[in-house]
Amino acid sequence: MMIPLLLLCIPLASAIVIWSFPAAFTGIFSKLFAGTQIISLLVIYVLHFYASTTTELQYDMMWFNAMGLHVSLILSPLSMLFIILTSLVGSIIVLSIPATTSKHVYALVFFMLFALQGVFLAQDGLLFYIFWELALLPIYFIGLVWSDATRATLLKFFVYTVLGSLSMLLGLIYVYLHTDVAGAHAWNYNAMIQAAQALQPQQQYFVFWSIFLAFAIKLPLFPFHSWQPATYVEMPYYGTMLLSGIMLKMGVFGIIHWLFAMVPAAIPSVQQPVLILALIGILYASIIAIQQRDYKRLIAYASMAHVGVIVCGLFSAHVQGIQGALFQSVSHGLTVVGLLLVCDILEHRFGSQTISNLGGIRNTHPWFAVLFLCITMGAVALPLTSSFIGEFLIFNGLFSYSPLIMGLAGISVILGAVYMLRSYQGIMLGQHTANTTATIPKAHYILLTVVMALIILLGLFPKPINDLAASAATTLVHTLKPGI
């Protein structure tokens, strides 16, 4: 079945074409390719996943026989969910990039979407690692050439991610050396899963922590988060959107598809320590967010807190908790990109992203105020928004594991409402302190309207995403707890 390969080819071809053609064609090509990606995905979903959420579309081709390496791809309910997120959020990011931006930025963004989709489709251990590393390169060059990031910020980001990647590679190689397919080692997903599950408990703990470190850094999970705030703030907006909207979801996907499947016997022993780290991160990030006066930095810490809630859902090891974490991954991608679009408008149209320098914008831009308010309500998980569905399922799964942990994680809802609503009040309400003559391009209004509509649509009609999440969660829990 060529469909998984087709999904990879669209963004890769987009990057190559945009890089090759004159800059005058960049705007047309970027819109064309973004639309092609969305339409292709919609057709695939309707034909193969709408009626059945157990569909698996596979593509396999021998690549390097000496190492047993295949170009092995699978489009399953789990990968389909993350491909949907990548395509939706990726298209919004592409369309939000200013027309005056270098064509090389567009090409790098499309190449990064190619690598991200490769991560979600790869069914071969080494291929997964290759795509994981390829996803790092575009965002690094975007930060190096087109951002205000200092050398210290970029170095910290690069060192953290590379150390995490090397740790993951060590764990994958360790498992690979224990595989045995017809008397040879193999990178095949099923062979690696079987080999890892046959390891002794101490060996499984080693595999878990070596691979988990890479995912924890990418999320980021406390205490591996210190690269995140400065990187988010100093990156251009499209770079921050890529990091927060899609790239951190690589960690969520990796935990579910690789780590939980490899070492299910180790999960009960590591469950509580990881949940404690996630809780510390939630409370720490929420308290820091309340103190922020720079709106973009506030969003960075808010994102960290929301990711902590997602990790809690994953490590509840409960069907509804995992299902909620998957649903919330999609919802978080939409809401954080919507908030960053708002932040982009505030800085480049109203002259500041510092909350105290703004105010009274709703008096001159009422529709912008409505869109901003709806996206803010989605960020605080108001009922009838997408985040409410995700967080409700997460807290339900957490309650089954530990009511105390659920209660502590639930504090994030209150703290989230505090920093999100206070920031909205400072930016949009009050006296005229912002630039009252600022104009907002129609394209920004359209993108914000699309984000708002998706947040509300998934809150009212969560079935398409929820069915994919439920199928993946049920399969995973059967692996973690056989017989359930």
β partners of residue 131: none
Better-predicted residue by pLDDT, 138 or 436: 138
CB neighbours (10 Å) of residue 332? 29
Crossing angle of helices 295-315 and 403-428, rounded to 10°: 160
Q: Which residues of 90-117 are buried (b: 16+ CB within 10 A; e: fewer)?
A: bbbbbbbbeeebebbbbbbbbbbbbbbb
- Domain with 347 in it: 268-484
Q: Evaluate whether residue 178 is within a structural domain.
A: no
Indicate if the pLDDT at residue 373 is higher than 90: yes
Helices (H) and strands (E) in the chain, counts: 21, 2
pLDDT, tens only, 226-256: 888 888 888 888 888 998 888 888 999 999 9
β partners of residue 61: 71
Q: Evaluate whether residue 41 is within a structural domain.
A: no
CB neighbours (10 Å) of residue 65? 9
- The stretch 338-352 carries a mean pLDDT of 88
Predicted local confidence at residue 365, as pLDDT: 86
Q: Evaluate whether residue 68 is within a structural domain.
A: no
Q: Evaluate whether residue 318 is within a structural domain.
A: yes
Q: Evaluate whether residue 341 is within a structural domain.
A: yes
Crossing angle of helices 403-428 and 267-291, rounded to 10°: 20
Predicted local confidence at residue 195, as pLDDT: 87
Residue 484 confidence class, pLDDT cut points 50, 70, 90: very low
Helix or strand run (H / E) with residue 323: helix 319-349
Q: What is the dihedral of CA 349, 112, 327, 189, to 10 degrees?
A: -170
Which residues have a Cβ under 8 Å from the Cβ of 224 and sit 6 or more positions away?
Answer: 160, 164, 213, 216, 217
3-state secondary structure of 423: helix
pLDDT, tens only, 137-177: 898 888 888 877 677 888 888 888 889 999 999 999 999 88
Domains contained in the chain, number: 1
Q: Evaluate whether residue 413 is within a structural domain.
A: yes
pLDDT, tens only, 179-196: 877 667 788 888 888 888
Lowest mean pLDDT across 7-16, 123-132, 470-479:
470-479
Mean pLDDT across the chain: 87
CA distance 17 to 107: 8
Indicate if the pLDDT at residue 483 is higher than 60: no
Lowest mean pLDDT across 47-51, 99-103, 459-463:
47-51
3-state secondary structure of 179: coil
Q: Evaluate whether residue 290 is within a structural domain.
A: yes
Q: Evaluate whether residue 214 is within a structural domain.
A: no
Residue 273 confidence class, pLDDT cut points 50, 70, 90: very high
Residue 81 confidence class, pLDDT cut points 50, 70, 90: very high
Alpha helices in 21-150 (DSSP H): 26-44, 77-96, 103-121, 125-146
Predicted local confidence at residue 264, as pLDDT: 87
